A and B are shown apart, each in its own frame.
Chain A
């Protein structure tokens, strides 16, 4: 008997894209794969309803949807569905259809039948987000989503409107205090946040180093590694009922004396006891360190507990520019001499072997930071785009009051640059997206982790991002590395900044409230606007001017008016913009991910549960040339483009370095130096294209 229920025709067809005829890939096979996928799988496995009423009632009565009748009449809902269906949405690639049905579409409780198509998900998200504002707002969201102008982050898009669902926010950060209560609070938070699907990042720079004193006895502390081990196991345990593995990151200040051990945990041949497999790691680099490396002066790693004992402050809260000389001359501070350049090379080596660590340039993140009057940005998140103030909470024993301070909570979403530009709807898209993000913040209340709850309640931070930059440039015959790309990014992201700030001011005006501490910020004193009120940001090249034809670009006069309104009404969100790497969601949108360059004209995409071939959006034989792989680009030019975008982004940008295995550690370290100098706040993964023997033989021949 033959038992083979694994073979799927659509996967075969999708794989057949890679078969070359006359030196061209079989791109048409992708359309065949979409068709086969619908005919042989999706349609057969979708529950059919005779009428919309029957569908909505069934979904509500069977506990799939929340009771939308509490907020809308059936006629209103029908209006939203009809509007969406009239747009006749079709999935443009197998990847987008496959990703949607595999990961986002609502299924029945058996997990076998689909209860939603893409249109239904869009309607449910729109109704959910607009439920306190009425059908007109729902129609605005519906238009934004079905036009594929904006894509909420996975937790929002996946969960909105569902009765039994996870949280709508995905991204959390917190500090860890250097005591058992603080560590316990962190592990507890990690488990809870991970169980609701969040990615969690911790700053472990405050933890005393290996060999430091505990209760005055020297040599007792275990350092940061054991805590990383605990966190790693915690994340893998709390995995959303097995749906997806928990994900977490830890950041360590580069001056912390455990830094070398911290980096070694990712090396290929390292002892099992100190190897960290699934936890992501990041290094916090203050300017002082880069200065020591530039001057090639000796660099001292500091034992943080001795700093606490001497100054009553945590090492990573100190301004290293001010305190470094003091620390190295004070004999009570325990330290270890190393070579800063060698440490940069060690980071490069670790990146070549593992892609890690992320890099967070602390002073770059604080230089343009509008909230400096309230606090500092100390570290970043799992994707290195969230950059907000944080402060460690004091956790006490049972029966004594804790002092809860700011953790970080962020909810994200991304504009699709190509559709927003083509539809000439930057203003509407940004403002409607800001409303959607605000709604998510409003309905989120993570009571089980009070520091996260406090941050969301008081700061209402969101992170509006963007995707499809390379796709949009390529379809308009602009090279990603060109001056025109810089020109485009400079204007586009200035506009995102302008309209998101305007939206935030409008929401503050409507609600008659701002985020806590607004009066202490650069928005309130007006200095934030200096660079915009003195200079216009218009396109400087002909090509880019043409792209913006018919679109109003805010002038310095507009900025002056906005400044005045902001000072009068305040702003609602402490943070507004953050450019996430958005992987899965960019597939649904048939977009190139984030603002990063593509890696291949046909991307081989590996997930934990599938491998898919994904031809890049808008790719044709005519524009093939513009789809240059990130691995073939000058990384300095990529960083240069990111730095131009960064000027208009209040948080960060997930920036991936694409290197080849022949690149040396020096090449990588030069990218860090360049990124630091041009003002990048962080670097995300380093990806490496492998060399193979074929390639070696051919270039040696």
Chain B
């Protein structure tokens, strides 16, 4: 008979689950904390081509986050033995759902109902976007089977990391690029929160993948499969980029950025980067920095604050500090 186990956080199962759990909790946020309505004027000032590009980019992102929260994370969870790692994945899964919703929060605020309907139709009918989704989904579906090989699991984890660390970024480019130049800044606060999350999701699932990789009977074959998958997605990503970025003249820069992030995904999986990257647009690169920035509380909401997890109470000696000042 199967024995059911309860997750026991008192006994660390590895040296990183608790750290990721805590970092995730700290980063918790919800879309309605932010105020994208401040961008309405900025939105109206953008050229129609730029608006089209922005909407499509966010539409594509919505699809990827939907896939990740509804299929990717739950399926992966089934095959992870460590209960603590499972908990971290469950939390991440919940955040992915918040991400998927938050794009809608931006849409609802700046776009008309007709626009929104058009974008979701576009998502359903765009062949490159659908190719991304179906390619990744194939590996996730494999995980739905009860009896799978270690290699299948590894490829499922790889698909997840590629999605989190690579495929998202063609979509993130435009909000970061606009924000760096003072457009759609309030909405970019939400995007930056998502990026901060995706970056730890990619690292965490990447670590899980590396654990599995070490135990594979034929690691070389798995690595080859990964490279094939990466290249398929890369070719598709170039075409996708052309489709949404050509009208605003950013295709070349976004492609460079796509390669930069493909390398990052490989590094998260423990492999050497393979793409040659010359120069990534510094505005977007700087926008990606998820560390603390200075801001003016009156002009925008901060993205710097995090849920307080270190609650420690005061003691008597705290009130008996030395307060003498020599001067």
Residues of chain A whose beta carbon lies under 8 Å from any beta carbon of chain B: 1-8, 11-12, 15-16, 18-19, 199, 242, 244-245, 247, 268-269, 272, 275, 277-278, 280, 293-294, 296, 341-342, 344-345, 348-349, 352-355, 382, 483, 486-487, 490, 540, 583-584, 599-600, 603-611, 613, 631, 640, 643-644, 661-667, 669-670, 673-674, 677-678, 685, 687-693, 696-697, 700
Which of the 9-residue segments B58-66, B121-129, B317-325 touches chain A? B317-325
* A608 to B299 Cα, complex, angstroms: 5
Chain A residue contacts of B183, Cβ below 8 A:
6, 609
In the complex, the answer to whether B310 meets A268 with C-beta atoms within 8 Å is no
Cβ-closest chain A residue relative to B200: A693
- List, sorted by A's number, 14 A–B pairs whose CB atoms are closer than 8 Å: A5-B47, A341-B314, A344-B314, A352-B305, A352-B308, A355-B305, A486-B327, A608-B300, A611-B180, A665-B308, A669-B318, A687-B292, A690-B291, A692-B291
* B286, B304, B310: the one within 8 Å of A687 (CB): B304
- A18 (CB) vs chain B CBs: closest residue: B286
Q: Which residue of A lies closest to B23 (CB)?
A: A693
Nearest CB of A to B266, in Å = 17
The chain A residue sitting closest to B177, CB to CB, is A6
Please tell me if the beta carbons of B326 and A483 are within 8 angstroms of each other in the complex: yes
A665 touches B181 (CB 8 A): no
Given contacts A607-B296, A608-B186, contact A700 B15 (CB under 8 A): yes
Main secondary structure of the interface of B (DSSP, over half): loop
Contact A688:B294 (CB < 8 A) given known A12-B283, A15-B283, A606-B300: no
Query: Do residues A693 and B203 form an inter-chain contact, with CB atoms below 8 A?
Result: yes
Question: A691 vs B306: C-alpha distance in the bound complex, in angstroms?
Answer: 10
Top 3 closest A-B pairs, CB basis?
Answer: A352-B308, A2-B249, A666-B312
Is the CB of B87 closer than 8 A to any CB of chain A? no
| Complex partner residue of A611 from B32, B199, B287, B325, CB under 8 angstroms | B287
CB distance from A281 to the nearest CB of B (A): 11
Beta-carbon contact of B299 and A244 below 8 Å: yes
Is there contact, CB below 8 Å, between A245 and B38? yes
Whether the Cβ atoms of B325 and A640 lie closer than 8 Å is: yes
Q: Interface extent on B, as a size class?
A: 35 or more
By the criterion CB–CB under 8 Å, are A674 and B325 in contact?
no
| Interface pair B249/A349, CB less than 8 Å apart | no
Taking the nearest CB of chain A, how far is it from the CB of B141, in angstroms?
A: 30
Is B230 in the interface zone, CB < 8 Å from A? no
Interface centre among A3, A275, A691 (most CB of B within 10 A): A3
A247 to B185, CA, bound (A): 18
* Inter-chain CB contacts under 8 Å: number: 220
Whether, in the assembled complex, B35 has its beta carbon less than 8 Å from a beta carbon of chain A, the answer is: yes
- B215 interface residue per 8 A CB criterion: no
Q: Say whether B78 faces chain A, with CB atoms less than 8 Å apart.
A: no
Contacts of B42 in A (CB 8 A): 609
With both beta carbons as reference points, the residue of chain A lying nearest to B287 in the complex is identified as: A611
Are A662 and B310 in contact (CB-based, < 8 A)? yes
Least CB distance from A343 to B in Å reads 10
- Which residues of A sit under 8 angstroms from B271, Cβ to Cβ? none
Minimum CB–CB distance for A390 against chain B, Å? 22
Let me know if A7 and B308 touch, CB within 8 A.
no
Q: Do residues A604 and B286 form an inter-chain contact, with CB atoms below 8 A?
A: yes
Interface membership of B293, Cβ < 8 A: yes
Residue of B47, B179, B291, B304 near A3 (CB, 8 A) is B47
Of A280, A605, A661, A687, most buried by chain B (CB within 10 Å of CB) is A661
Q: Is there an interface contact between A353 and B310, defined as CB atoms closer than 8 Å?
A: no
New A-B pairs, 8, CB < 8 Å, besides A1-B247, A7-B181, A685-B297: A18-B282, A345-B311, A606-B295, A607-B299, A609-B185, A678-B325, A691-B23, A700-B16
Tell me, rounded to whole Å, the shortest Cβ–Cβ distance linking B85 to chain A: 15
Which of B28, B295, B298 contacts A247 (CB under 8 A)?
B298
Assess whether B248 is interfacial by the CB under 8 Å rule.
Answer: yes
